[in-house]
Amino acid sequence: MAAFLPLFVFVGFRDVARRTRRDIDGTKTLVSHCPICDAGIPHTGLRELRRARREHIETLHPEFFHYASRINKLAVLYWAGLIFLAITATFWFFVKSYILSLAGFLAVLPLLYILNQFFQKQVREFRRRWTEHGSARPQQNTPQI
């Protein structure tokens, strides 16, 4: 057992390293999709994904871009409030006020859900407007007479 255990660890580590390297190489040529128009946004790496997606949304969906930048600023305040609530709930736990601590921790979960649902609803609304807009429909070739 003492002879095979180091061999087993070495072979297992090498296999994990190969799989991880293959997964990382596979993510370098991904195509992300726009949440509004569902167009493919090619990028060469995970670092470029945010820049490519931002440029696409800024040029094709300017109203969504302005909305998202405003919501991102408000989300910072929202997250600050959630962090304050979590810190307060932790303090209540150490003061032995378990009911307030439980209420504080349980309040964080619905607030996270509400933020996510609100943003998804707005994305669906922008997507609906985009599909109803004339430029979103494929152009039909009609013969000119």
Q: Which range (15-24, 123-132, 136-145) has the least confidence?
A: 136-145
Distance CA 63, CA 34 (A): 14
Asked whether the predicted pLDDT for residue 139 surpasses 50, the reply is no
pLDDT digit string (tens) for 44-93? 666 777 788 888 888 888 888 888 888 888 888 888 888 888 888 888 88
- Chain segment 6-52, per-residue pLDDT in tens: 888 888 888 888 988 887 776 665 677 788 887 887 766 667 777 88
Kind plus residue range of the DSSP H or E element containing 8: helix 4-26
Helix axes 62-94, 46-60, angle to 10 degrees: 130
Angle at 119 between CA 47 and CA 66, to 5 degrees: 65
Note the pTM of the prediction, 2 decimals.
0.55
Residue 44 CB contacts under 8 Å (≥ 6 apart), including other chains: 28, 29
